[in-house]
């Protein structure tokens, strides 16, 4: 499994990261352990979770299940020191039942990025994970209602206390990211080294406004700032590249739907058929071939079989003609 630099930290991380979002809920513990074992056996070392994973699969789930499963896997395997462990705070949901019913706005739903909130959140994450530190701690959902100075000072304190080695940000606009970096430079606080955003082969429809999806401006920003590494979540869009029903009905497609995406989906289908692989495998391989900016592909398989099928993309080599055809596709 290939590795790439994490910003300018000197760390090398697996270019394929394993998202543990559904572990302990939709994915039971035996399957979770099986996926983790297979990923690490293949040379993977970048694990991603969050304190809020996962309250939404159904009644009885409150968040923290994923971190708890990882903690039990670390205790069983003894492999904590072999992995680069990332978790997130600020998106904890205090009332999952109301959130599942859709009765809360994002501001009402999420805990936010206040200083005390993040300090208590990371302590809770460390208890569930059974470790004294994480390697990377993200602000999960950018909080426009808390002064950035408060959030950044708290994060700097967590780094100084040894509870996290690095910080990152997720679901954030480019202008906010620049403001964060300016404040870190002004006050000498640790700056983010990772940006986790939704990113796939399809391009965001220009009429859709969402802070969570990388757009052309953010990609250009990352090209100019190699101290930030893009961690791309939902790179395979829940299997949409191989499923016409998902192309039609998947909620996430609202962000991408249009003639440009139609053309790109058709190109993926044609090239995957010619290469004898699935569309999912082709898109993952395309992601791993990207160099400007380099990016980590974060997958979250629900079953061991899904992991095995998706991971085939690691071994797919795309020549220049295929890459040029993929990049040129669109309306």
Q: What is the CATH number of the domain that holds 164?
A: 3.20.20.100
pLDDT of residue 173: 96
Q: Note whether 70 and 129 are within 8 A (CB).
A: yes
Q: Is 242 within the bounds of a domain?
A: no
> In what helix (H) or strand (E) does residue 328 lie, and over which residues does it extend?
helix 320-328
Backbone angles phi, psi at 62, to 5 degrees: -125, -5
Residues 6+ apart with CB under 8 A from 264: 201, 202, 203, 326, 329, 330
pLDDT of residue 67: 98
pLDDT of residue 262: 96
Whole-number Å distance between alpha carbons of 142 and 148: 10
Whole-number Å distance between alpha carbons of 199 and 212: 9
Whole-number Å distance between alpha carbons of 246 and 316: 24
Q: Is 143 within the bounds of a domain?
A: yes
Whole-number Å distance between alpha carbons of 195 and 43: 23
Q: Is 146 within the bounds of a domain?
A: yes
User: pLDDT 10s per residue in the chain (331 long)?
Assistant: 999 999 999 999 999 999 999 999 999 999 999 999 999 999 999 999 999 999 999 999 999 999 999 999 999 999 999 999 999 999 999 999 999 999 998 889 999 999 999 999 999 999 999 999 999 999 999 999 999 999 999 999 999 999 999 999 999 999 999 999 999 999 999 999 999 999 999 999 988 888 999 999 999 999 999 999 999 999 999 999 999 999 999 999 999 999 999 999 999 999 999 999 999 999 999 999 999 999 999 999 999 999 999 999 999 999 999 999 999 999 7
Show the tokens assigned to 327. Answer: 């990049």
Whole-number Å distance between alpha carbons of 182 and 81: 33
pLDDT of residue 135: 98
Whole-number Å distance between alpha carbons of 75 and 327: 44
Cα–chain-centroid distance for residue 156? 22
Does the predicted TM-score (pTM) go above 0.85?
Answer: yes
Q: Is 131 within the bounds of a domain?
A: yes
Q: Is 173 within the bounds of a domain?
A: yes
pLDDT of residue 157: 98
Q: Which range marks the domain in which residue 123 is found?
A: 12-192
Q: Is 7 within the bounds of a domain?
A: no
pLDDT of residue 106: 85
Digit-coded pLDDT (tens) for 124-134: 999 999 999 99
Inter-CA distances, 63 with 52, 107, 303, Å: 4, 18, 20
DSSP string, 124-166: HHHHHHTSS-EEEEEESS--TTS-HHHHHHHHHHHHHTTSEEE
**Per the structure, how many domains does the chain have?**
1
pLDDT of residue 208: 84
Q: Is 219 within the bounds of a domain?
A: no
Digit-coded pLDDT (tens) for 33-47: 999 999 999 999 999
Q: Is 327 within the bounds of a domain?
A: no
């Amino acid at each position: 499994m290939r590795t790439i630099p994490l910003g300018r930290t000197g760390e090398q991380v697996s270019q394929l990261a394993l998202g543990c979002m559904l572990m302990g809920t939709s994915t039971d513990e035996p399957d979770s352990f099986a996926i983790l074992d297979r990923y690490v056996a293949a040379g993977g070392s970048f694990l991603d979770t969050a304190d809020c994973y996962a309250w939404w699969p159904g009644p009885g789930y409150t968040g923290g299940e994923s971190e708890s499963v990882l903690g039990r896997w670390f205790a069983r395997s003894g492999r904590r020191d072999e992995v680069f462990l990332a978790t997130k705070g600020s998106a904890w949901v205090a009332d999952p039942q109301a959130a599942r019913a859709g009765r809360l706005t994002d501001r009402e739903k999420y805990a936010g990025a206040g200083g005390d909130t993040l300090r208590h959140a990371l302590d809770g994450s460390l208890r569930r994970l059974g470790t004294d530190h994480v390697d990377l701690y993200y602000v999960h959902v950018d909080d426009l209602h808390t002064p950035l100075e408060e959030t950044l000072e708290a994060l700097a304190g967590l780094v100084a206390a040894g509870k996290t080695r690095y910080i990152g940000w997720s679901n954030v606009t480019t202008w906010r990211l620049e403001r964060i970096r300016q404040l870190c430079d002004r006050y000498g606080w640790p700056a983010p080294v990772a940006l986790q955003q939704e990113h796939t082969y399809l391009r965001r429809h220009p009429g859709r406004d969402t802070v969570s999806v990388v757009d052309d401006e953010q990609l250009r920003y990352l090209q100019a700032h190699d101290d930030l590494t893009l961690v791309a979540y939902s790179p395979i869009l829940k299997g949409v590249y191989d499923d016409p029903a998902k192309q039609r009905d998947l909620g996430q497609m609202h962000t991408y739907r249009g003639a440009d995406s139609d053309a790109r989906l058709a190109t993926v289908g044609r090239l995957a058929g010619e290469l004898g692989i699935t569309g999912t495998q082709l898109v993952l391989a395309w992601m791993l071939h990207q160099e400007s900016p380099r990016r980590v592909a974060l997958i979250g398989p629900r079953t061991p079989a899904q992991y095995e099928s998706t991971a085939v993309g690691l071994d797919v080599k795309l020549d220049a003609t295929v890459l040029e055809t993929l990049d040129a596709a669109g309306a």
